[in-house]
Amino acid sequence: MKKQPNINFGAAILFLIFSLLFFVLIFRFVSIQVTGEAAGHALAAKAQQKYEREKTIQAKRGTIYDRNGEVIAEDTISYKLVAILDKSMKPDYVKDPEKTAAALSKAIDLEESEIYRILTKKTEDGETPFQVEFGKEGRDLPLKTKREIEDMELPGITFITDSKRFYPNGVFASHLVGYVEKKKSKTNKTDTVGMLGLEQSLNDVLTGKDGKFSYESDIWGYLLPNGDQKIQPAQNGKDVYLTIDKKIQTFLEDSMNKVDEEYKPKKMVAVVADAKTGEILAMGQRPSFHPKTKEGIEETWHNEVIENSFEPGSTMKIFTLAAAIEEGEFDPNEWYKSGSYKVTENSPAIRDHNQGRGWGSITYLEGVQRSSNVAFAKIVKEKLGYEKYREYITKFGFENPTGIDLPNETGGKIAYEWPLDKVTTGFGQGSAITPIQQVQAATAIANDGKMMKPHVISSIVDGDKNEVLKKTKPEVKGNPISAETAKKTRDILETVVSSEKGTGYKRYNIEGYEVAGKTGTAQIPDPNGGGYLTGHENFIFSFLVMAPKDDPELIIYVAVQQPDIDLSTNGAEPVSKIFTPVMKSSLQYLNIEPAKELKANSEQAPEVEGKTVEEAKAALKKSGFEAIVLGKGSKVERQVPGNMYNLLEGERVILKTEGDLTVPDMNGWSLRDVMKVAKLADIKLNTVGSGYVVKQNLKAGSALREGDYLIVELEPPAEKYNEENAENAESEEQQEEEEAVLD
């Protein structure tokens, strides 16, 4: 009983304490419910921070295409190999480094011992790192390698998905296209950044904007079924379409590789352009580099076609000649004394390239053909006059950059102070210009006086919206000469190649085509001062040409600096080994018909369109032509060539009928006849070799559809004849053996 009051008092105290705690909790609970805050922090935001996850949706860098939609540079998915070493990540950590190293060495390009070293390495504090990577051998892995490693089921081995820039063509207009590198930004984010060429100058256009995907998850990070989800789509980079033609660029790269290997020149540049639009179809140089591995980039960072100006040599005579014709100051039949010529009494004599011996008194036409410096010195000083010629230098755009859509272009350096400077500029010495300036100026000669601005970007497209953002149109930069002058200039330049006196005779002939061009042999200033380098090989050998001569489609400029040649080798040889295969292959690839070499007994094909097939065949046979019918219809819808063309006796006339077309047997056909089929059926033609058809990929009699690829293999008649003789001899030998066995 004595203890009872104490017990009651203690119980009352406890009741009071618990009541106060209860009221405090109730108050706290109500206040949190009302305000949504605790300790000054918004609880909703805290909960969202804890349970909401956010993932980046990576934007794709824009793709670079050629003019036909062939990929030149694109982003592709790649995988980075990672090994988890932290044992707290059981069971997903590397338990057996020795076994793992042995397995991985079969899948990636690393020795087993090196992989084991990576898997067992420690930090500076002697601790085991959470994870390790495998250097460049473990990066940019293709899907096939990833799946191969996954099939090994190695604990602790995982992958991080990444993107890489893929250049499917390797060394391919590398200084024009450029390359990219991965760089960390200030926010510690790894970005892809263009470092050279169009990848650099169009970096903002090609770079997209990452999106993000946010969602609510449980404490383990899994997506809640009814949780909020927010998606902000990525904005991919814009796609860029170039004027470059993959096929022509490949012709150029292959030819330059062969010359580089054979002659080992210090430098080479080459450009192929559309004569009518100024579009650059191919552009290459050596040294070059591989845009993925960067191998060779240390040899030159410059696009030599647009960033380097040098003395052009005799290719400059093209424009001096055009200026003289335009001013009515060039008479091809006028005579002058070649050899040497003094501009002023005190100036050194201008000498022709044969040590000043010259060729005696010759006509100015022969002076052009022989590339006489004296002829052009006299044209500048005595015919045009210094001031007038200076105007044409400006008109042809040799002072300023062309404005081509490539970075870091430089302009020309025109030395035009003293009389000797003015005269030597007329034949390509003293002043310096860029290859692209020469190509731009040549468009005026090829394009009936209209000088076209060169460009390499055809269009920029938003691939997400399928919307063309920019379309480049042909731009006329000026009209330095008339159409009549352009034609006369081309006619004279054609003789540089076709005349026995021409510096381009035989070496630059293209079978079946007439070309108009000018060779160049430019001196190289001595870097130590005191004039020019001496020696048989110490020149820049070049050729600037357009074809076909009467209606040029292509302009090609090739320059080869200091090739490794002996005294018996002409410096034009390496130049021709680039120009000739590239021009010939390009003309054939573009289905540009060869020049028509007409015989005295040539006739016009009769008009047979609208006639029945039988009537057409009879009419053509009567005129001495062979009719080839594409299709099984009864009526002729179209014929190639038409009745306005003169044909050779026995030449084939291709007839198209209504209905489905069929492939003819083209064995023994000339390229000219094959091109008629390609034109009429609207198919794409690729050729291998030269001469007459010995093989075709499309089977004779099979269906011929628009857009098909026709590949024909050609051989010269002599090779075909030798093969046939060999086959006949082999057949006869086999028959004799069979007869001996029977006996």
Three-state DSSP state, 7: helix
Say if CB 458 and CB 202 are below 8 A apart.
Answer: no
Q: In whole angstroms, what is the distance from residue 48 CA to residue 399 CA?
A: 65
Catalytic-role residue among 314, 372, 431, 458: 314
Q: What are the C-alpha distances in Å from 555 to residues 175, 282, 324, 438? A: 20, 11, 22, 10
Q: In whole angstroms, what is the distance from residue 15 CA to residue 11 CA?
A: 6
Three-state DSSP state, 501: coil
Say if CB 234 and CB 208 are below 8 A apart.
Answer: yes
Q: What is the dihedral of CA 448, 450, 451, 456, to 10 degrees?
A: -100
- Residues facing 567 on adjacent strands: none
Q: In whole angstroms, what is the distance from residue 201 CA to residue 199 CA?
A: 6
Question: Read out DSSP for 249-318?
Answer: HHHHHHHHHHHHHHH--SEEEEEEEETTT-BEEEEEEES---TTT-TTGGG--S-HHHH--B--GGGGHH
Say if CB 523 and CB 408 are below 8 A apart.
Answer: no
Say if CB 252 and CB 582 are below 8 A apart.
Answer: yes
Q: Would you say the C-alpha torsion 37, 38, 39, 42 has a positive or negative sign?
A: negative
Please give the radius of gyration of the chain, using alpha carbons only, rounded to the nearest integer: 37
Q: In whole angstroms, what is the distance from residue 551 CA to residue 244 CA?
A: 21
Number of neighbours of residue 366 by Cβ within 10 angstroms: 21
Say if CB 681 and CB 630 are below 8 A apart.
Answer: yes
617: Cβ–Cβ under 8 A, 6 or more apart, which residues?
627, 629
Three-state DSSP state, 517: strand
Three-state DSSP state, 439: helix
Q: In whole angstroms, what is the distance from residue 608 CA to residue 637 CA?
A: 9
Q: In whole angstroms, what is the distance from residue 631 CA to residue 706 CA?
A: 13
Number of neighbours of residue 298 by Cβ within 10 angstroms: 9
Environment class of 39 (CB within 10 Å of its CB; exposed 0-12, middle 13-18, buried 19+): exposed
CA 448 to centroid of chain Cα atoms? 27
Note if 634 is an active site residue: no
CA 630 to centroid of chain Cα atoms? 36
Q: In whole angstroms, what is the distance from residue 382 CA to residue 430 CA?
A: 19
Phi-psi region of 170 (alpha: psi -120 to 50; beta: other; left: phi over 0): left
Question: Looking at the annotation, which residues are catalytic?
Answer: 314
